[in-house]
Structure 1
Amino acid sequence: MSDVAAAIMDAAERRMRRGGFNGFSFREIAADVGVKSSSVHYHFPTKEDLAAAVIKRYTAETAELIERELGKESNPIKVWVKAFRGTLHSQDRMCPCAVLGASSQDLPPEVAAEVKRFFKMCHDKLVEEGLPPDEASQLLSTITGALVVANAVNDFSVYDNATREFTKSKKPAPMKAAARRLK
C-alpha cells in the first residue's frame, strides 16, 4: 500500500470514528491528506471501497493487537477490556466499528459485511480463548456499549465502572492462555 493510500485510510478512519459512514466525503479526505480529490478516487474508486478497506485494516490491526496482548496477559477478558479502554482514551475515542455498527442496516452491503466481520472476529477470538459463546457475546456487548455510553456522557468512568464489574464477575480461561504460552 502506498503512503498516500495509507494516509487516505487514516483520514477516513478518523472521520468515521467521529461521524460514521456519512461523516466524510472524498473532498474532505483530500483536504485532510493534502491531495486532490481525484487522488482519493484513484486509490479508492468509491466511498464504499474506502470505508470497507478502512474497516478491513482495522479488523486486522485489532486481531494483531489482541494476539500480542494475549502473549503478555493470560486473562482474555482483561485484554479485551484494556484494548477498548485504550480506544476510549485515544484522540478519536471511538471504535469505528462501534460507530458503524449502530447504523449497519443503512450501510452499503460491502461496508456492513466488513463491520460484521470485525464483530465476528472479536467474538470468535473470545471463544477461542475459552469463553462460552454467550459470555463472549456479553463481554463484547459490555465493552462496546460502555464505550458508546462513556462517549455520549463524556465520562470515562462509565466505561471503567461497567467493565470493572464485568471483569470481577468473570474468571479467566487459563487452559487456552497456558496453551498459548507453550507455543
Structure 2
Amino acid sequence: MAIMDIAAEAVRKRGYNGVSLDQIARDVGIQKSSIYYHFSSKSELIAAIFRRFSGQIYSFLEDTISAESRAGDRLLAYIVETGTFTQEGESICMSIALNIDRDSLQAEVVNDLVTFHAANIAWLTDTFALGLKDGSISDVGDPAEEANACLALVDGAQLMARAHQDPGLYEQATMLLRSRISASGAADSAR
C-alpha cells in the first residue's frame, strides 16, 4: 500500500514527530481524508507500518538461521541488512527513529518496540553463543553482552551515517566487528 510505504520512509527519515499526514497525502497524491479511510489516526498508521517492518525483520532473522549454519555468516548478514536502512545516509532503522520519539507514541507501539528490541537481542545472543562454539566469530565473551554491544554498535553506526549523510560511516563503524568474523569458522579454531 502506497500510504504505508510513504509513511515508513517518512518515519525513517524524520521520526514520528516529523511525520505529517498532510505531507503523506501529498506524496501519495491523495486527499488527507483518504488516509482516514484506511487508518483512523496517525498513531494507527504508525502502528501498522511498524508491525509490517518488524514482521519483515523477524522473517529475515528466521531466514538467516535457515540459510546460514555459521554464526559468523549470520552476523555478517545482520550487519549488511541493518546497513541497508541508512539509504545513502538519509534514513535510519524504523525502530531507532521511533525510539527517539518514544514519549509521543501510543503504549501499543512502545510495547512493540520493546518486543522488537528483545527479539533482536535474543537472536544476537544466540548468534554469539553459536560463534563461541563454532569459532566463526573471534574473541567472543559473554554472548548476551556481545549482543547488547553489537546492537548498540549497528544502531549507533546508522545514527552517525544519518547525522553526516554518509553511508560510508556505517561501513567504517562496523568494520571492527566484521573483522572478527572468520572466513572458515570451526576449521580455523580446530587448528
Partner of 2:152: 141
User: Alignment partner for residue 43 of structure 1, among 17, 34, 38?
Assistant: 38
Q: Does 1:166 find its partner at 2:177?
A: yes
Matched-pair contact (CA < 8 Å) for 2:161–2:169: yes
CA distance in 1, matches of 2:148, 2:182: 15
Coordinate RMSD, CA, aligned: 2.4
Residues matched between the structures, number: 169
The letter for the 2-side match of 1:148 is: L
The letter for the 1-side match of 2:162 is: N
Following TM superposition, by how much is the alpha carbon of 1:107 offset from its aligned partner in structure 2, in angstroms? 2.5
- Write the deviation string for residues 43-81 of structure 1: whole angstroms up to 9, x where unpaired: 110111110111111001112223334444432221111
Partner of 2:132: none
Following TM superposition, by how much is the alpha carbon of 1:42 offset from its aligned partner in structure 2, in angstroms? 1.8
Following TM superposition, by how much is the alpha carbon of 1:164 offset from its aligned partner in structure 2, in angstroms? 1.1
Partner of 1:18: 13
| 5+ long unaligned stretches in structure 1 | 1-5, 176-183
Partner of 1:152: 163
CA distance in 1, matches of 2:6, 2:115: 22
- How does the TM-score come out when normalised to structure 1? 0.80
Following TM superposition, by how much is the alpha carbon of 1:168 offset from its aligned partner in structure 2, in angstroms? 2.4
Q: What percent of counterpart residues are identical? A: 27
| 5+ long unaligned stretches in structure 2 | 130-142, 187-191
User: Alignment partner for residue 33 of structure 1, among 1, 22, 28?
Assistant: 28
For residue 127 of structure 1, give the secondary structure of its aligned residue in structure 2. helix
Following TM superposition, by how much is the alpha carbon of 1:117 offset from its aligned partner in structure 2, in angstroms? 2.4
User: Alignment partner for residue 104 of structure 1, among 102, 105, 126?
Assistant: 102
CA distance in 1, matches of 2:169, 2:22: 36
Matched-pair contact (CA < 8 Å) for 2:89–2:162: no
Following TM superposition, by how much is the alpha carbon of 1:83 offset from its aligned partner in structure 2, in angstroms? 0.6
CA distance in 1, matches of 2:124, 2:24: 34
User: Alignment partner for residue 2 of structure 2, among 3, 7, 12?
Assistant: 7
CA distance in 2, matches of 1:27, 1:126: 39
Matched-pair contact (CA < 8 Å) for 1:14–1:92: no
Matched-pair contact (CA < 8 Å) for 2:21–2:32: yes
The letter for the 2-side match of 1:49 is: E
The letter for the 1-side match of 2:107 is: P
CA distance in 1, matches of 2:31, 2:150: 43
Following TM superposition, by how much is the alpha carbon of 1:170 offset from its aligned partner in structure 2, in angstroms? 6.0
- Whichever of the two has the greater Rg, that structure is 2
- How does the TM-score come out when normalised to structure 2? 0.77
The letter for the 2-side match of 1:155 is: D
CA distance in 1, matches of 2:64, 2:87: 17
